[in-house]
Structure 1
């Protein structure tokens, strides 16, 4: 049985809506694991993230439905869960899109109540980057990692998790023009 690492780095992202910021894609190659919290938007986003060679975990968002994905992506889409729990050194990371947790004004409270076993809960949906680490479990929205409603630039968060300590590093990138394949220049 392989030994669990003492320290891992994860890229947390969400709300690409079929368009992935290239700076975030480059950052994906520098971590151990990529976590997408839904509203992926197109299978090309998952293909690009998988091509980095890092482990990838993703959940469905409210826009990740057959009617909004190309027909050749339906099989992949239907393999995605609505929630994931990932065991990491020092605790459990829970991922869900967050669209079903309402009212929005109580979203963090309700997420914490729904996942008391977690050390960190990652969600998307609002497109707004938020790090709420005042109490455990922490609640993080990495912001939109594509082009749609980025509120100041495409966002993501890098989590460094060890048995002793977890650290969050938020990132923002100014958006450019679209180019082929769902990537942004």
Structure 2
């Protein structure tokens, strides 16, 4: 299963995001959505699961859950916006992956057998950070793998 992972759109869905996520079976948005109409565009590609971030304080995005847990191809995936607010041990909880955003800094690491994946930000550019989305590959009998996709933006 190929999953698109995005975060920190801050109300801007860049046109480069759609081709980067073409062919995914699901899209996971890790918060700081900014505008709920972003979901309408993303849902043209695949079903969307989203959580709220620290800027999602009003309107429809304020009603998104703070965290979510998904079971995808036999793997539990934990979604939260800011990894620094993680108040559980993902390895003890048997999560295969923790997906997070907030920092706008893309990153992939493993700790105690758990994949920690931040796709970075595909919204407004912040400082000198890249504009990125993520791809998560999930197969029943293998550990999930992640990839950061750098978007070429003007």
Same fold (TM over 0.5): yes
| Conservation of the 8 A alpha-carbon contact between 2:5 and 2:136 | yes
- Counterpart in the other structure of 1:88: 72
The secondary structure found in structure 1 opposite 2:78 is strand
- Counterpart in the other structure of 1:136: 113
Alignment of 1:28-107 (within 5 A): 28-52=21-45, 54-66=46-58, 74=59, 76-98=60-82, 101=85
- Equivalents in 2 of 1:78, 1:135: separation in Å? 33
With over 3 angstroms needed to count, the CA separation of the structure-2 counterparts of 1:155 and 1:118, relative to structure 1, is: same
- Counterpart in the other structure of 1:119: 96
The secondary structure found in structure 1 opposite 2:68 is strand
Matched, 1:22 2:6: no
How much has 1:167 moved relative to structure 2? 2.1
- Equivalents in 2 of 1:135, 1:55: separation in Å? 30
- Cα displacement string for residues 17-59 of structure 1 (whole angstroms, at most 9, x for unaligned residues): 011222222233310000000000112212211222x110000
Unaligned 5+ segments in structure 1 are 1-7, 67-73, 102-109, 177-185
* Count of residue correspondences: 152
- TM-score for both structures, normalised by structure 1: 0.74
